[in-house]
Structures are given as C-alpha cells and as structure tokens.
Amino acid sequence: MPYSEVYTRIHSNPTLSIDDPSVVPDVEVFEIQHYPPSTNKIHDRKGIPEEGFYCWFCLPGEKPTTPSYGPFSTKEEAVKFVQIIRPILLDYLKRL
C-alpha cells in the first residue's frame, strides 16, 4: 500500500509568493513512498504509482484540475516542471 503526503502548496507563477494573503496557491507537490514490502503473498503493487515527487494543479479544498505529473526525483524538479508547463496550460485553456 503506498503512502502519500501533501508536501507543499505553491503558486505556479514563480513571481507570486504564497506568503501574500491575497495569493491562492494553485499547485500541490507531494511525495509517494512505498511501505516496506509485505510478507503477505497476496500483496500486489499493480496500479500503484512509482515512488517520487508528483504535482498537480489544485486549489485549496478542491479536487485536482489536472492529472498528476511525475514522478520526479526531487521536489525542486516537480516545481520547475510546473513553472515551465504553466504558460502552456494557460494558453491551451484560453483556446477552449
């Protein structure tokens, strides 16, 4: 069984700080870790995501608005990915 923990909330626009109360974070970066393998022979990891850092666009208290992206080796790689894909995603959404 995997273990998932929300690691941090950020804003996809790196020029905005979530320390500013008027800024709402729009991304969650989280880490998937697996528990040690079970001795139970029925234990199967089929369909369980790989270990690593993942991210998705998600407003606080809401369901994610995109699929999860990852796995990334570090939190910093996941954040960098979000900041690169943000303009592409915004452009795509404008065209809908």
Report pLDDT digits (tens) over 28-78: 999 988 766 655 444 555 666 788 999 999 888 889 988 899 999 999 999
Task: Copy the structure tokens of residue 95.
Answer: 């065209």
Predicted pLDDT at 46: 60
Pick the residue with more confidence: 10 or 40? 10
Evaluate whether 54 touches 30 at the Cβ level (below 8 Å). Answer: yes
Number of domains making up the chain:
1
List the domain range (segments joined by +) for residue 19: 2-95
String of b and e for 15-25 (b: at least 16 CB within 10 Å)?
A: eeeeeeeeeee
